[in-house]
Amino acid sequence: MSTDEPSETAEQHGHEHHEVEGPGYPTPAAMRTESEREKTAFVMALRVGMDVDGPDFVGVVDVDPDSDTYAELIDTVEMPNKGDELHHFGWNTCSSSCHAEGLTRDHLIVPGQRSSRIHIIDASDPRSPSIEKVIEPEAVFEHDLSAPHTVHCVPGGKIVISMLGDADGGLPGGFLQLDQDDFSIDGHWEVDRGDMEMNYDYWYQPRHDVMISTEWAAPETYYPGFDLDDVEAGKYGDSIHIWDWETKEHRQTLSFGEEGLIPLEVRMPHNPEETEGYVGAALSSNIIRFWEGDDGVWDWETVIDVEDRDHPDWDMPVPGLVTDTLLSLDDQYLFFSNWLHGDVRMYDVSDTGTPRLVDQCWVGGNFGERREVGGHEVRGAPQMLQLSRDGKRLYWTTSLFSTWDNQFYPEMGEKGSLMMKADVYPDEGRLELDEDFVVDFGDAPGGPARAHEIRWPGGDCTSDVWQ
Nearest to 439 by CA among 408, 397, 404: 397
**Domain tally, the chain:** 1
Instruction: Read off the pTM.
Output: 0.95
- The reply to whether 280 falls in a domain is yes
Chain-wide mean pLDDT for the chain? 94
Over its C-alpha atoms, the chain yields an Rg (Å, rounded) of 20
Q: Within a domain: residue 250?
A: yes
Q: Which CATH number fits the domain that encloses residue 159? A: 2.130.10.10
pLDDT at 4 over 60: no
Give which of 225, 193, 176 is closest to 49, Cα–Cα: 225
Question: Which residues, in sequence order, are bridge partners of residue 146?
Answer: 165
Residues 106 and 113: their CA atoms lie apart, in Å, by 22
Q: What is the pLDDT of residue 9?
A: 44
The reply to whether 467 falls in a domain is no
Domain of residue 169: give its range: 8-455
Where does 328-429 show beta strands of DSSP type E?
333-338, 343-348, 356-362, 372-373, 376-377, 385-387, 393-397, 418-425
* Residue 241 pLDDT exceeds 70: yes
The tens digit of pLDDT for each residue in 144-199 reads 999 999 999 998 889 999 999 999 999 999 999 999 999 999 999 999 999 999 99
Whether 256 has a pLDDT exceeding 70, the answer reads: yes
Looking at residue 103, what is its pLDDT? 80
Closest by alpha carbon to 396, among 362, 422, 371?
422
Question: What's the pLDDT tens digit per position in 7-18?
Answer: 444 444 444 444
- Look at 8-12, 127-131, 326-330, 357-361 and tell me which has the smallest mean pLDDT: 8-12
174, part of any domain: yes
Omega prior to 445 cis, within 30 of 0? no
Measuring CA to CA, how many Å separate 250 from each of 245, 257, 289, 297?
A: 9, 20, 20, 13
